[in-house]
Each structure stands twice: as C-alpha cells, then as structure tokens.
C-alpha cells in the first residue's frame, strides 16, 4: 500500500464517521469548567466520558504541586533519563510507588501507552510466548507485536480458555507471559484475577496485570483489583497510568522481582523517550497521596457509579456490566448509537461513542465513565438526558425509515 492509498483509506474512515455526524475529532472543549464540566459548541456540557475517576484534575493540592514543580524544576526535562539524567522528583515518585505496593521495583514511563509498550518490548524477544486476554488494550497488542514474540489470545475473562491455551503450548507454557487487565475500559467488566493467576501459576507462567482503569478505585487501599483479589504476592508485573485516577500524564510499573529495574537498560520506549515533565510528576505524586489519604474520593465515585447504573437500568437499557466506574449502554445499531450520541451532546451531556472494532461483540456502545467529582444532581440530569436522547433518536430513525 502506498502512502496515498493509506490517506484514501483514512479519509474513508473519517467520512464514514462524518456521515453519522459522529466524528470524535470535532469535539473541542473550548473551556474546561471543572473535572465534570466543559464548554462544547458554546454550551456548558456535563462530561461523563473522561476517565477522570477521582475527579482530581482541579484539586488544589495537585495544581499547587504542579505549579511549584514548574517554578523549581522548569517546564520540561528535555530528555530521557538514560541519556540526560534523572530529576530527583522522578526517583522520589518511583520510591513512593514501590513503598505503596511494598515491592522492590518500580519504574516510570512517559505515558500509559508507553508503559505497556516499554515493559513488553523490554521483557520479550522473538520466540517467547505470550497469552493475552482477547479484549486487551491496543498498547498490549502493540507491545507484543513489536517484540517479535509469539502471542495468543484467550477468550475474554475465561480462565478455562486460558488453561486450554497453556496446555496446548506444552513445555513452552512454563515461562510464558500471561497478560490481563483489571477493569476493562469499554464494557466496564472486571477480570477474575484470582482464577486467572492460579491457572498461570499452575503452568509456571508469569502473570502481568494492567490496572490502568482500576488503580485508585479498587482494593482496600486503592492498589487496584490485584489487591481486591488478594494476589499482590503472586502477580509478577503490575502496570498503571497517571492519566486516569491520578489526573496527570505518565505511567508506572511495579514488580515483586527486583530484576525488573534492569529494564532501564533494555526497554527502548524508556531509553529513547523524554521523561515526564516535572509538573506531570508532581501532580501524579500529589494524586498518589490523595489515593492513600483520601478514601472518601473512592467512596463518592462508587456511590455515583451505583446511582447512574440504577438510573440507566431503570430506563430498561441493556448495560454491559455490573455497576463499576465504567458504564456502557449497548446499542445494536451503529446509526441509533450515533444519533443518540448527538442528541446527548445537543442536550449538554458528553459520553463516548464506541463502534466496532473498538467495541467488542459487534454492538456499539454509549460509554460513560464516572467521576468522584460528579454530583448526584448531574447524574440525575445524565439519566434524564439519556431518556430524552433515545426517544428523539428513535423518532428520527422512524421518520427516516418512513421517508
């Protein structure tokens, strides 16, 4: 395929979204009013598709820490830690992650995407074997692909299918890497981590969990679903991002294996990327302290999630999972999903429109992500907006059909 052919292909994708008036690139937030509200098309809009789970983006502690870091350390690091040196703030945040997890090794990466890419490119070589959950995020697939390892998918959240895949590997199963996530970002369902970990360990495989969407909101102390499942002493690698609960930009990996620190010498995304800016590191550090010291944030988030789930269930919608901070309404028709998404936006509610292949199972999703910053009043307005939007979308579809 030539570059011009590729441009044609991309234009086709854009046009197909444009024909549904559902091109996400047209959403521009002209003014950010709070963690849960912005001005879009000149109108104040409730944001319920941001992954701002703990609602910390405007928290005074985070803002003060970020501003102070800029004044003390400057606007950027201007280079990678291996080539240009580490700022003390990066080392301090790594130490705090290691202490929080009570693990000997922690490493920071510049984005959440690069965290998984960096870990997998550092760990894996051609011929290595990986078994990953079929619903894994693109960065996990990309890390496996770039590493040259042989990678296999097991059925989403299915320990028996994982067992089948490992059995078929024969002796190669020992030393293979099994990868799953905690909370899945599209459907809002959670992995049966204890069962998956037990199968991996039965075959002598390594076990890695991406807690991008579950860190800070699951587990007694906020360490994620691994903590909730009671497997912190068995999981080999945990990754996470700063760009969701931690309200910043960057990512982390922790491990009970001190050797993980050696990846600094062999992970190309780590070696060749500039490190996160001092402001990003300071905000993430302040947010990590909030996770540790302000459990009321998690409590409020869960109360909000329960309320939205109950409200949308009460309207009779087909929801993709039990209550969680991600609540996705399943919509069989892409056109109905797009029309409803537009109706929601027109009424001042922004959710995520997800169509296949990003949405699994062939259906489209109207995906909501809750925040501790939402008020009950906002959630009730979101539920009312869904009710009106689906009604209007159905009417306009019927009218289009009648014509």
Partner 1 sequence: MSSEATDLDTDILTTLLGFLERFPTKSGELNAQTDLSADLSLDSVSTMEILVEVEDHYDISLPLNMMANVNTVQDLVNEIKPLVESKP
Measured in whole angstroms, the distance separating CA 298 from the mean position of its chain's CA atoms is 17
Please provide the distance, in angstroms rounded to a whole number, between the alpha carbons at the two ends of the chain.
Answer: 41
Q: Considering the complex, what minimum distance in angstroms separates the CB of residue 163 from partner 1?
A: 12
Q: Which is nearer to partner 1, 16 or 398 (CB)?
A: 16
For residues 306 and 351, the answer to whether their CB atoms sit within 8 Å is no
Q: Considering the complex, what minimum distance in angstroms separates the CB of residue 13 from partner 1?
A: 14
Cis? peptide before 216, omega within 30° of 0: no
Q: Considering the complex, what minimum distance in angstroms separates the CB of residue 144 from partner 1?
A: 7
Q: Considering the complex, what minimum distance in angstroms separates the CB of residue 313 from partner 1?
A: 28
Q: Which is nearer to partner 1, 136 or 300 (CB)?
A: 136
Q: What are phi and psi of 177, to 5 degrees?
A: -110, 125
The rounded distance, in Å, linking the Cα atoms of 63 and 199 is 44
User: Which one of 137, 244, 298, 334 is the catalytic residue?
Assistant: 244
For residues 297 and 287, the answer to whether their CB atoms sit within 8 Å is no
Q: Which is nearer to partner 1, 158 or 306 (CB)?
A: 158
User: Which residues have C-beta within 8 Å of that of residue 248, sequence separation ≥ 6?
Assistant: 62, 66, 242, 276, 280, 281, 283, 284, 287
The residues binding partner 1 (CB under 8 A) are 134, 141, 144-145, 148-153, 165, 168-171, 356-357, 362
The rounded distance, in Å, linking the Cα atoms of 326 and 94 is 28
**Vertex 314 angle, CA 43 and 346, to 5°:** 15
Q: Considering the complex, what minimum distance in angstroms separates the CB of residue 180 from partner 1?
A: 16
Q: Which is nearer to partner 1, 56 or 149 (CB)?
A: 149
The rounded distance, in Å, linking the Cα atoms of 253 and 313 is 36
For residues 298 and 54, the answer to whether their CB atoms sit within 8 Å is yes
User: Which one of 90, 135, 156, 213 is the catalytic residue?
Assistant: 213
The strand pair at 37-40 and 43-47 is best described as antiparallel
3-state secondary structure of 155: coil
Q: Considering the complex, what minimum distance in angstroms separates the CB of residue 154 from partner 1?
A: 9
Q: Which is nearer to partner 1, 60 or 357 (CB)?
A: 357
Closest C-alpha to 68, from 247, 248, 279: 279
Q: Considering the complex, what minimum distance in angstroms separates the CB of residue 205 from partner 1?
A: 14
User: Which one of 89, 110, 147, 185 is the catalytic residue?
Assistant: 185
Q: Which is nearer to partner 1, 13 or 92 (CB)?
A: 13
For the question of residue 244 being annotated catalytic, the response is: yes
* Tokens coding 36: 């849960």
The rounded distance, in Å, linking the Cα atoms of 256 and 232 is 9
Q: Which is nearer to partner 1, 145 or 299 (CB)?
A: 145
* Tokens coding 207: 């076990």
Q: Which is nearer to partner 1, 356 or 391 (CB)?
A: 356
3-state secondary structure of 319: strand
For the question of residue 375 being annotated catalytic, the response is: no
**Vertex 233 angle, CA 161 and 131, to 5°:** 25
Q: Which residue has the tokens 């089948």?
A: 164
Q: Write the burial class of residue 17 (CB in 10 Å: 0-12 exposed, 13-18 middle, 19+ buried).
A: middle
* Residue 193: half-sphere exposure toward Cβ, Cα within 13 Å: 30
Q: Considering the complex, what minimum distance in angstroms separates the CB of residue 113 from partner 1?
A: 19
Write out the catalytic residue numbers.
185, 213, 244
């Amino acid at each position: 395929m030539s570059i011009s052919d590729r441009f044609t292909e991309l234009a086709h994708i854009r046009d197909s979204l444009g024909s549904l008036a559902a091109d996400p690139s047209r959403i521009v937030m002209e003014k950010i009013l709070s963690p849960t509200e912005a001005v879009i098309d000149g109108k104040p809009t409730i944001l319920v598709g941001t992954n701002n789970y703990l609602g910390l983006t405007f928290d005074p502690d985070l803002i003060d820490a970020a501003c102070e870091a800029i004044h003390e350390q400057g606007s950027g690091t201007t280079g990678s830690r291996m080539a240009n040196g580490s700022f003390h703030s990066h080392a301090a945040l790594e130490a705090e992650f290691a202490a929080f997890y009570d693990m000997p090794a922690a490493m920071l990466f510049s984005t959440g995407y690069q965290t998984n890419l960096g870990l997998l490119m550092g760990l894996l070589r051609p011929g290595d074997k990986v078994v990953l959950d079929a619903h894994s995020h693109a960065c996990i697939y990309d890390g496996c692909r770039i590493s040259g390892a042989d990678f296999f998918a097991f059925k989403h959240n299915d320990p028996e299918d994982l067992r089948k895949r490992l059995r078929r590997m024969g002796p190669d199963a020992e030393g293979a890497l099994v990868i799953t996530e905690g909370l899945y970002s599209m459907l809002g369902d959670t992995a049966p981590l204890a069962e998956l970990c037990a199968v991996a360990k039965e075959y002598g495989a390594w076990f890695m969990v991406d807690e991008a969407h579950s860190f800070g909101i699951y587990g007694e102390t906020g360490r994620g679903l691994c903590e909730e499942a009671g497997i912190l002493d068995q999981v080999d690698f945990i990754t996470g991002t700063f760009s969701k609960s931690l309200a910043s930009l960057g990512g982390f990996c922790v491990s009970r294996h001190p050797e993980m620190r050696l990846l600094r010498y062999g992970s190309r995304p780590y070696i060749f990327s500039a490190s996160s800016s001092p402001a990003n590191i300071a905000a993430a550090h302040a947010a990590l302290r909030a996770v540790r010291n302000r459990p009321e944030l998690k409590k409020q988030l869960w109360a909000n999630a329960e309320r939205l789930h109950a409200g949308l269930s009460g309207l009779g919608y087909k929801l993709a999972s039990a209550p969680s901070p991600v609540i996705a309404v399943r919509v069989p028709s892409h056109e109905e999903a797009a029309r409803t998404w537009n109706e929601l936006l027109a009424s001042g509610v922004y959710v995520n429109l997800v169509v296949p292949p990003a949405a699994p199972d062939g259906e489209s999703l109207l995906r909501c992500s809750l925040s501790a910053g939402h008020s009950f009043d906002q959630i009730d307005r979101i539920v009312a907006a869904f009710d009106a939007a689906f009604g209007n979308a159905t009417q306009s579809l019927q009218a289009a059909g009648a014509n």
